[in-house]
Amino acid sequence: MAMTKGKQLWLTVFLGLMTAMAPLATDMYLPALPTMQGELNISASLAQMTLTMTMIGMALGQIFAGPVSDRYGRKRPLVLGMMVFTLSTVGCVWAENIVVFLFFRFVMGFAGASGIVIAKAIARDLCEGPELTRFFAMLMMVNGLAPIIAPVLGGQILLVTSWRGVFVVLVGVGIVQLLATLAYQETLPEKERKQGVLASFATFPQLFRNRYFMGNCLVQCFVFGSFFAYLAGSSFVFQNIFKVSPQMYSLIFGGMGAGLLVAGMLPARLAGRVADVKMLHVSILISLAGSVLLLGGFYGKLGMAVIVSLLFMTIVPLSVVGAASFSLALSKQGKNAGSASALIGFFSMILGGCMMPLVGIAGENTAMPMCIIMLFGYIFGYAAYKFMIEPEHRG
């Protein structure tokens, strides 16, 4: 679908904010995890469980939001999701114990999932082929700003208030996203919608039987599982092992986000000239090599500068993996874009959510569990590419 430059800019910012739900809901309060752990008198694993509940909520929420958006259009489910996200974030601000906090974190993730999955379905409504790859890459670039800004902002908030202040800011983010959603114009015409929600859910078995599509789902599952292990462990690694302040940690984390942002430009530049499958292959290999070196770096007790460099090599190619894999997976899905995007989103978060508490299983002063989980995630991700995606592109 042809778009004016003004409309494309508006949609890029709007959809970029929606796909940034995950980093906004997690990265902003990463610098506060050790502080929250002490204030609530909980273990490192339980502190990381607050991330897990959000990720599991987002994974399950996408399974519902995608098919619902295929049936009722993109706007109505998105408005409802942003409303519930904002209200549940208010609940996080006022939660007095870890059980209540975990409940609201789950609801926050479940509701926020609508922004993640529907934003990608909207992109598929409007674009296809190399244009879709470019648009996904642009979304990844906008999305890449969130990991830069969120932890830095979170670290600065901690200078003047407690970790609860981070969630007050997130309430404001939710309100902004709700207002932007109200201004959005529907992109899925009535005649192209599924006839009944059950018909939308019935798409899932068909997608599960599609080996190529499931290969991309598994790539996302394992690679993003590695990334979320990094999210859960990085604040403890840098603040407890390398003894940096929350503010310095937020700057290191923001640097990783800057790398993701720059890497996100590559698919946009190369779309139409370099095959998506080639970009996917090379980016996974780079991350796999980085994860091997990272494990060796921590085992050899190398300095922080070396560890940051190896993390950069391991994490940054994720922008290319995300854009290329999503474009390949959705390229043949047409009106099933909502359900397909939901299933990919589910796989990209569910493993990471489950792995997060395991990162702290050996205590808060070791990085080995994080490194091992990351390494195996990239190994399995590469295997999924090699045996389920690459064969379709041979010959």
Q: List helix spans (H) across the chain.
A: 5-19, 21-27, 33-40, 44-72, 75-94, 98-126, 129-160, 164-183, 197-201, 203-208, 211-236, 246-263, 265-270, 276-299, 304-315, 318-330, 337-359, 368-384
Retrieve residue 355's tokens.
């792995």
Residue 200 has what pLDDT?
66
Q: Largest alpha-carbon pair distance within the chain? A: 61
Distance CA 84, CA 174 (A): 9
The list of the chain residues with pLDDT below 50 reads 1
Distance CA 51, CA 57 (A): 10
Nearest to 280 by CA among 148, 177, 390: 390
Residue 107 has what pLDDT?
95
**Count of other CB atoms within 10 angstroms of residue 363:** 12
| Tens of pLDDT, residues 215-228 | 999 999 999 889 88
> Judging by beta carbons within 10 Å of its beta carbon (0-12, 13-18, 19+), is residue 131 exposed, middle or buried?
middle
- Taken in order 180, 184, 188, 189, is the CA torsion positive or negative? positive
Residue 375 has what pLDDT?
95
Retrieve residue 233's tokens.
């462990």
Give me the CATH code for the 10-184+197-390 domain, please: 1.20.1250.20
Residue 143 has what pLDDT?
64
Distance CA 349, CA 339 (A): 16
Which amino acid is present at 49? M
Nearest to 66 by CA among 330, 323, 277, 276: 330
Q: What is the DSSP letter of 389?
A: I
| Tens of pLDDT, residues 245-258 | 888 888 887 788 78
Nearest to 65 by CA among 138, 140, 122, 1: 122
Distance CA 387, CA 301 (A): 35
Residue pair 212/388 in contact by the 8 Å Cβ criterion: yes
Retrieve residue 36's tokens.
């929250």
Retrieve residue 344's tokens.
């990919």
Nearest to 284 by CA among 245, 323, 255, 248: 323
C-alpha pair distances (Å), 114 with each of 56, 338, 370:
13, 10, 29
Compute and round to an integer the Cα radius of gyration of the chain: 20
Nearest to 358 by CA among 225, 166, 174, 163: 225
Residue 361 has what pLDDT?
66
Residue 140 has what pLDDT?
66
